[in-house]
Amino acid sequence: MNREELHALLHPWFDGELDAARSLEFEKHLDDCPSCRQQIENQQSLRKALTAPELYYPADNALRRRISRNLKKAVRTESRMVSHWFSWNAAAAVVILAVGIVIGVLLRGVPSSTSSKALVNEAVAANVRSLMANHLTDVLSSDQHTVKPWFDGKLDFSPPVKDLAAQGFPLMGGRLDYLDGRPVAALVYKRRLHTINVFVWPAATPPSLPAGSGSHDGYNVIHWTATGMNFWVVSDLNTEELGEFVRLLQSPG
């Protein structure tokens, strides 16, 4: 992301509208941008000034009664309009609803290649961000019994964590990340000098995407659904060894 794009994130970041990954990227940018830091200080001063108690005055009883009467009148008027609209358009609404149900039934279970491509892009981008921002782990540990409980209270699910050090894929730790429009668990493994990111989050029922593999921007991607979870593995490790890692991850126990 270039400097202009990062500057455009200032107001969304200040208002708490960014996801975890973009917040991290913008906060790293703040370390090297005095202009953005000054703007944030200005925004904080303005917000503090706008919350000053002397700017606010309680409404007197007469004003409260007048507002209450006007609100009740507006509600009655809108209720009549809605009732009238439904009396003339009930048949059309039923037809639209029926068409929507039919389309939903026809499309249910049909995998979307666009969604799959978008998720591949997201997963690879998250992998690259973790390497560039030097933010591979929030919890640094090779002990699965330390990494797994760390996610408790931070996510609405508990990701499965395996210790594969004996097979040559040591666990490095885990972190929170953001994929598919929601927070996910990111488990980090190593193979010599190669990093392997494993993104995990609850799957839809039935799964919205079939299992698959491929490559994007020099990274290999393998994904599948099992035990009610989506698994997306991203690494620059060669396909043969990454496939071996996935088989170990999928094996029972």
Report if residue 66 sits inside a domain: no
CATH at 178: 3.30.200.100
Q: Are residues 47 and 140 in the same domain?
A: no
Report if residue 137 sits inside a domain: yes
Report if residue 91 sits inside a domain: no
Q: Are residues 49 and 160 in the same domain?
A: no
**Residue 59 near residue 215, CB atoms below 8 Å:** no
Looking at per-residue confidence, does 141 or 66 come out higher? 141
Q: How confident is the model at residue 108 (pLDDT cuts 50, 70, 90)?
A: very low
Which of 141, 163, 147 is CA-nearest to residue 251? 163
Which of 115, 127, 121, 117 is CA-nearest to residue 196? 127
**Residue 130 near residue 156, CB atoms below 8 Å:** no
Q: How confident is the model at residue 29 (pLDDT cuts 50, 70, 90)?
A: confident
Most confident of 8-12, 75-79, 117-121: 117-121
Report if residue 64 sits inside a domain: no
Write the CB contacts of 111 (distance below 8 Å, at least 6 apart in sequence): 208, 209, 210
Q: Are residues 22 and 131 in the same domain?
A: no
Q: Are residues 119 and 244 in the same domain?
A: yes
Q: Are residues 122 and 244 in the same domain?
A: yes
Write out the residue range of the structural domain in which residue 17 sits: 3-53
Instruction: Please write the tens of the pLDDT for every residue from 41-60.
Output: 888 887 777 777 766 667 77
Whether the per-residue pLDDT at 75 is higher than 90: the answer is no
**Number of domains forming the structure of the chain:** 2
Q: Are residues 119 and 226 in the same domain?
A: yes
Query: Which residues on adjacent β-strands are paired with residue 139?
Result: 174
Most confident of 55-69, 119-133, 154-168: 154-168
Q: Are residues 46 and 137 in the same domain?
A: no
Q: Are residues 119 and 221 in the same domain?
A: yes
Cβ neighbours of 33 (radius 10 Å): 17
Q: Are residues 147 and 223 in the same domain?
A: yes
103 vs 97, 100, 125, 234, CA distance in Å?
10, 5, 33, 34
Q: Are residues 49 and 150 in the same domain?
A: no
Q: Are residues 210 and 123 in the same domain?
A: yes
Q: How confident is the model at residue 93 (pLDDT cuts 50, 70, 90)?
A: low
Report if residue 70 sits inside a domain: no
Report if residue 25 sits inside a domain: yes
Which range, of 47-56, 60-69, 240-249, averages the lowest pLDDT?
Answer: 47-56
**Residue 221 near residue 228, CB atoms below 8 Å:** no
Report if residue 68 sits inside a domain: no
DSSP 8-class letter at 164: B
Give the containing element (helix H, strand E) for 25.
helix 20-30
- Sheet architecture: strand order including 229-235: 139-140, 171-179, 182-191, 194-202, 229-235, 219-226, 212-216
d(CA 222, CA 213): 4
Write out the E strands in the chain. Answer: 139-140, 171-179, 182-191, 194-202, 212-216, 219-226, 229-235
Report if residue 74 sits inside a domain: no
Instruction: Please write the tens of the pLDDT for every residue from 150-197.
Output: 999 999 999 999 999 999 999 999 999 999 999 999 999 999 999 999
Average pLDDT in the chain: 83
